[in-house]
Amino acid sequence: MILERILEKTRKRVAQLPASYPDALPGDRVRLSEAIRNRNGHNAIIAEIKCASPSRGIIRRNIDMAMMAGDLSTGGCVALSVLTEPYFFGGAVQDIARVKSAVNLPVLRKDFIIDERQVAESRALGADAVLLIAAVLNDRLSGFVDLAIAQGLEPLVEVHTAEEAKCACATRATLIGINNRNLTTLGIDRSTTRLISGEIRKEDRLIISESGMRSADDVREMKPYCDAFLIGSSIMSHNHPKKKLEEFVCA
């Protein structure tokens, strides 16, 4: 199973992490939740910079992270997601600093967080928010949410099922992402957002729909069920990523 292969590699990476990290450089963190709320009448798009994925292989080669971040910022995204997983997604932890140097937008560190040291690492790298996957953390989810908040990071809790959504709503997380992709099969079903969002909405959380948005029509279809979208492959595989992003922002 692909998820277990990713986690196996992640465990090996985590084993090499230091026991502690120095404090991050001074400066206020940019709040992802506020950026979503202050979208000025446009769709709130978190644009994801990624080089590859298990389902698509190489998506885009030789990305200048700072230049891409600048282009996407001018394209109207409210935040940037940076994949730092190296083996399956072609990312690097250094990419966060490269992106942060170019824009004043919230930056989400997207990786497979399984160890408390990764949360401290995310803060030291300069991330503003960190992805926490319910299916990976299971009964440790609430503790990791609390740890992220204590570190000054906004946790974005990712769910795929109604049960995971219930667990996410039992935490202090303000941001809940509904992944339309099944991490076991890698199949995508956008109706996942529609089916799960209602119960999350009752808990007054911000909902981010993740995966499967290929066109402006897809965004228009899903807008009633979420507050924001996290979109990567469709933007990064396009000949003109900024132009593709603008289609989503204005849909």
At 227, which CATH number? 3.20.20.70
Establish if 105 belongs to a structural domain.
yes
CA separation for the pair 159, 45 (Å, rounded): 18
In a domain, 189, yes or no: yes
On whether the CB atoms of residues 176 and 159 are closer than 8 A, the answer is yes
On the CB side of 101, CA atoms within 13 Å amount to 10
**Cα(37)–Cα(44) distance, integer angstroms:** 8
Instruction: Report whether 49 contacts 83 (CB < 8 A).
Output: yes
Per-residue confidence (pLDDT) for residue 39, from 0 to 100: 87
pLDDT tens per residue, range 38-92: 988 899 999 999 999 988 889 999 999 999 999 999 999 999 999 999 999 999 9
User: Could you give the number of structural domains in the chain?
Assistant: 1
Give domain status of residue 99, yes or no: yes
Q: What is the mean pLDDT of the chain?
A: 94
Q: What is the pLDDT of residue 92?
A: 96
What pTM was computed for the model?
A: 0.95
Residue 191 belongs to domain spanning:
41-249
Which tokens belong to 247? 């289609």
pLDDT reported for residue 185: 84
Which residues share a beta bridge with 134?
Answer: none
> Phi first, then psi: what are they for 23, rounded to 5°?
-60, 150
Residue-wise pLDDT for 171-207, tens only, equals 999 999 999 999 888 889 999 999 999 999 999 999 9
pLDDT one-digit tens code per residue, 224-240? 999 999 999 999 999 99
- What pLDDT was estimated at residue 25? 53
- Report whether pLDDT(105) > 80: yes
In a domain, residue 21? The reply is: no
Beta pairing class for 57-58 and 206-210: unpaired
Residue 55 belongs to a domain: yes
What stretches of the chain adopt beta strand conformation (E)? Answer: 45-49, 52-53, 57-58, 79-83, 107-110, 129-133, 154-159, 175-179, 206-210, 228-231
DSSP classification of residue 9: H
In a domain, 6, yes or no: no
The answer to whether residue 239 is domain-embedded is yes
Q: Decide if 80 is inside a domain.
A: yes
84 vs 94: CA distance, rounded Å: 8
Instruction: Please report where in the chains the tokens 């066109």 appear, as a residue.
Output: 215
Q: CA-CA distance, 140 to 128, in Å (whole number)?
A: 21
**At 180, is the secondary structure helix, strand, or coil?**
coil
Give CA–CA dist 167/138, Å, rounded: 9
